[in-house]
Structure formats: structure tokens, C-alpha cells
Amino acid sequence: MKKTGAQLVCEALLREGVEVVFGIPGGAILPLYQTLPQYPQIRHILTRHEEGAAMAADGYARVTGKVGVCLATSGPGATHLVTGIANAAMDSVPLVAITGQVARKAIGTDAFQETDIIGITLPITKHNYQVLHAKDIPRVIKEAFYLAGTGRPGPVLIDIPKDVFTEVAEAEFPEVVDLPGHRPVLEGHPAQLRRAVRLIQEAKRPLILAGHGVLISRAWDDLRAFAEKTGIPVITTLLGISGFPADHVLYVGMPGMHGAAYASLAIDEADLLIALGMRFDDRVTGNLEAFARGAKVIHVDIDPAEIGKNRKPDVPIVGDVRHVLRQLLPMVSHGSYPEWLARIEQLKREHPLRVPDSAGLLPQEIIEHLSDITGGRAIVATGVGQHQMWTAQFYKFVEPNHFLTSGGLGSMGYEVPAAIGAQIGCPDKLVWSVAGDGGFQMTMCELATVVENRLPIKFAIINNCSLGMVRQWQQVFYQRSYVASCYTGNPDFVKLADAYGIRGLRVTDKTQVRTAIEEACEHPGPVLIDFQVEQEENVYPFIPPGMSVKELMEDPRLRSPQRERVV
């Protein structure tokens, strides 16, 4: 049977199990939009900006494990997707972006709203396609979903000229994908596994460093089983947070630039690091030459390009984290490290991570109350900056895959659309978007998407009337020269919420925090809380970029009289 290119797109999406797409229509992609009503099984979420569409698809993909899908028209529609695509690439999120393009005869003529989106996105996609014949659409979409979701996940872009959407072709849908160059390795090599087991048996102070790969491979149960059998304590990277329950006796915390001091110090004293699905990012390691100098390294990653890229491992294992852990579990012995665990507890006492005493409203206590009231079981989406670090430090995630954040790209504005995608993907879950006032204003137009789709998302704005992390760096490194980081032009966020028909609350005193959060949790619809906090509150601990744990800066308000490590 012959079908139009647009019909072939919709039917191919249904064959890939797609239930929801995020996007905005425009001229070049209108033939696809005009076809969508023929396929009511595909729910379309109209966002207010294409960046929001890409980031909502990203959040949806993270919580569901499915490939997220976003749509945009040619030119500015396509280029507006770029930040969201780059975010998915940096954080290994499976995403398929479908863009309209000018008609085939107009390509290369600088036609209205023509942009070379293939060239633009080449560095930030696993692969991209420009489909010039309708008959190729089924094969391309099947390949795109396979590439996006297998191996190390990532974004794939499909660019389709307007007249290809209207071209008629035979509907032939391939059952299998034939990509000889894409053969992800899932199982670890037996010889490397045996070498890893020997290092584990010899270690006295081992640590597991669990990264985003644990969540991507859905390996949280396997990680817990492995940690409990071996008795090895677990540290999670920023993107690995919620891959291991924060209330577990073996959980240590997050290390690195703004991680818990005791986690970074434990790494410095470890004699073995078992790195699972993490890439030794600079925010974890700081000065690579000084990072964990006394430790041997077992590195497990599905992407062979990541192994040895930053830190050379003693035992490299290419494979999917879940598969490798299931291979290792019967090979390792039951173990315990009482002296090592006691040392880590000592580090926790000497370098505490807690809310400082203050008369004013501090962001840390807001997150601490949020964690306590929700029991650590909410899905929490953040952007990037101080609020992101405070959430990572003080929200105690006990459910897996519940922390969504822009890790590698560090994109302000991620939190609002990601929460939308998460709520649509998990409609029965409590979803909180935690934002800074600066990042919130980058995507606050998506509140309309929230209202239109009746999404009961709760929004916490940590409002310090500044670009908080920029201001902190200016304080520390630029002699308090606060150029373009502090401002007074914020809108009244409560009135803004009211304008959208959303319940708005304002909190100015610490005595109001719990009541506001409880009210938001109990309200059946969306709620926005404007938390007006101390402007000059800084994130501690802090290892300056390029430095090591030896240069660790800790909160002077938490200084212990028994030590002099505080800078």
C-alpha cells in the first residue's frame, strides 16, 4: 500500500513504540503535523519553545528508559533544538529529533528558513540523516531508534524536506536493522573479569564510583547486590545520584568540585576504584595527576572511547554495566571492610555536610525539608548552578532514577521542560522542578505547557536575585567584582504563577518552608513556590577547577576546632 512520507513517519514511530512526541509546528514540517490526527495513538505535546521540546523529550527518556522524540520545523525551529540535542549527547540520553526542511529543489539556495541542520548537529549527534526519498523513511527511522537506544545512548537527528513528507511511496517497514559498524559489546571479557576479581580480593580500601551508566543500563539492583556482597562502599557521581539509595549503610555520597568533602577524601585514601559507567569527568577528578594517586582502577564502560581517555585503568572492561555486574557477582567473595568503613565515618565527622546555622533563609534547608517531606521519593529535575549542587548534596534519593539534571552540558533552563517530560512519562509520580531564579526565566514559558496538559508539577524557585554560581566564582576568583550576575529585575513569580492559573506561594522566612512544601505536595495541580533566600550564600565544599582535594575549601561556619583543613 502506498502512503505519504508523513504517514510513513507516523507508522514507523508507532512501530518503535512511540506514545508521545514533543514539538512545535512550522511551515516545513506542517505536512507531518497535518497527518498526526490520523494517528491518535501518538500524543503530541505542544511546547512553547523548541528547546523545551528537546529537553522535555530528554526528561521523558531518562525516567522511562524509552527513546524520547521531538519535532521542529526548519531554520530557527531546528536550531532551537540544538541545546537540547547537545545536552542529550553529553549525558548519553536516547533521543530522536525530527526536523522539517525546505523542499528538495530549494536546498542550498538560502531559501526562507533554510539551515544546514545536518552540518550544525554533526558534532553533537550519534548520527544524523537527511531523507531525500519517502521510501527511505521506514528504514531511517528504524535505524535512528536503534542507534539512539543501543550501546552508549545518544541523540540522532532526521531531517526531512517538506516535499518528502508529501511524496507517495510503498509502505515497506524493515523488521531488522543492518548496521555492521554498530555492534555494542555488552559482556565483559572473561580474562579482564578475572583480573578485576583479583584486584578486589587484594584491596583493603576499595570504593565503587557509580556513574550515569548505572542508571542508563537500569543496573541499580545489580549494583546494590554487588555492593552488599562485597561490602564495598559506594560513591555516586552527579549523574549517578539515585543509582544507589542514599539511606544505605554503604552509601558515601557525591565527590568532586562541590561534592561532600568526605567522599573526595575517601577517594584520595582508597587503594582501589571500581568505576562503573562513569568517565572520570573533570568535575569529579579536578587535577588528574593528583586524583586518587594511590588507587588502582577497574573501569567498566560500554563506550571503549571513554576507557583510558582521562584516567588509565589497571583493568579496562568494555561492556554494559548491568551485564558486567551480573558476570562479576558470582565471581566475587562475600567481604567486609570494618576498618575502612570506620575511617569513612571518621571523615564524615571531621568534614560534615550539614546546613549551617543562620537567621536567614538558606537554600540548603529548603532542600533538606523537601527531601524529608517527600521521603526522598520524588522525581527531582534541576538546571545547573548552586541550586543543582544543593539538591545533589541535601536531597536523599532512595528511589532509583529519580534525579534529572544537566550534567555534562550544564544547561540553565533544563529543569522546567525536563520535569514536564518526567511527569508525562511517570504520571503517577510526584515531580519537583528545583530551579534558580536565573535558569527558571530561560524556560518559564513552558508553564503554559504545564497548564495546558494539567500536569501537577511542583516548582521550587531558589530566588537569590542573582546568577548564583557566577556570583560565587566572582567572589572567590574576581575580588567580588559582580559583573552582570546580580540584578533586581526579577518578575513577581507568584503573580506570574497566577497569570498562568497556577497556585503561587512566597516564602521569605525559614518558619514557612515546611508548610509551603507540604501544601504544594497536597495540592492536586501545579504549584510554584518562590523561596527568597540569602543572596550571598555559597556552595561548599568547593575544590577550585584544576585543583585537587588538597586545595579543598570548606564552609568556615562548619569548621571543627580539631582540624585546620578549612581554607
Q: Residue 371 CB: number of other CB atoms within 10 A? A: 21
- Residue 95's SS3 state is strand
Residue 376 CA, chain-centre distance (Å), reads 18
Q: Which residues pair with 98 in a beta bridge?
A: 71, 158
Which residues make Cβ contacts (< 8 Å) with residue 289, sequence separation at least 6? none
Q: Cell for 63?
A: 525516567
**Is 3 among the catalytic positions?**
no
Please report, for residues 105, 113, 358, 472, 490, the alpha-carbon distance to residue 464 in angstroms, rounded to integers and kept in the order given: 52, 39, 16, 12, 10
Q: Cell for 94?
A: 536516547
**Catalytic one among 3, 7, 22, 50?**
50
**Is 475 among the catalytic positions?**
no
Taking a C-beta distance cutoff of 8 angstroms, is the pair 425, 439 a contact? no
Q: In what order do the strands lie in the sheet with 503-507?
A: 403-405, 379-382, 431-436, 458-463, 527-532, 503-507
How many Å apart are CA 257 and CA 259, to the nearest integer?
A: 6
- Apex CA 268: angle with CA 152 and CA 411, to 5°? 40
Q: Cell for 182?
A: 554498530
**Catalytic one among 11, 19, 113, 327?**
113
How many Å apart are CA 250 and CA 335, to the nearest integer?
A: 13
Alpha-helix runs per DSSP H in 426-525: 437-443, 447-452, 468-477, 493-499, 513-522
**Catalytic one among 364, 415, 469, 531?**
469
**Is 50 among the catalytic positions?**
yes
Residue with C-alpha cell 528511589? 399
Q: Cell for 553?
A: 575549601
Which residues make Cβ contacts (< 8 Å) with residue 40, sequence separation at least 6? none
Q: Cell for 123?
A: 558534532
Q: Which helix (H) or strand (E) holds 529?
A: strand 527-532
Residue with C-alpha cell 519517502? 134
Taking a C-beta distance cutoff of 8 angstroms, is the pair 430, 374 a contact? yes
Q: Which helix (H) or strand (E) holds 186?
A: none
Taking a C-beta distance cutoff of 8 angstroms, is the pair 71, 29 a contact? yes
**Is 113 among the catalytic positions?**
yes
Please report, for residues 203, 234, 275, 322, the alpha-carbon distance to residue 230 in angstroms, rounded to integers and kept in the order given: 11, 11, 15, 16
**Catalytic one among 66, 142, 162, 348?**
162
**Catalytic one among 34, 38, 112, 346?**
112
Q: Which residues pair with 415 in a beta bridge?
A: none
Q: Which helix (H) or strand (E) holds 91?
A: none
Q: Residue 223 CB: number of other CB atoms within 10 A? A: 25
Q: Cell for 468?
A: 548564583
Which residues make Cβ contacts (< 8 Å) with residue 478, sequence separation at least 6? none
How many Å apart are CA 470 and CA 52, to the nearest integer?
A: 24
β 2-4/168-170 pair status: antiparallel
Residues taking part in catalysis: 50, 112-113, 162, 469
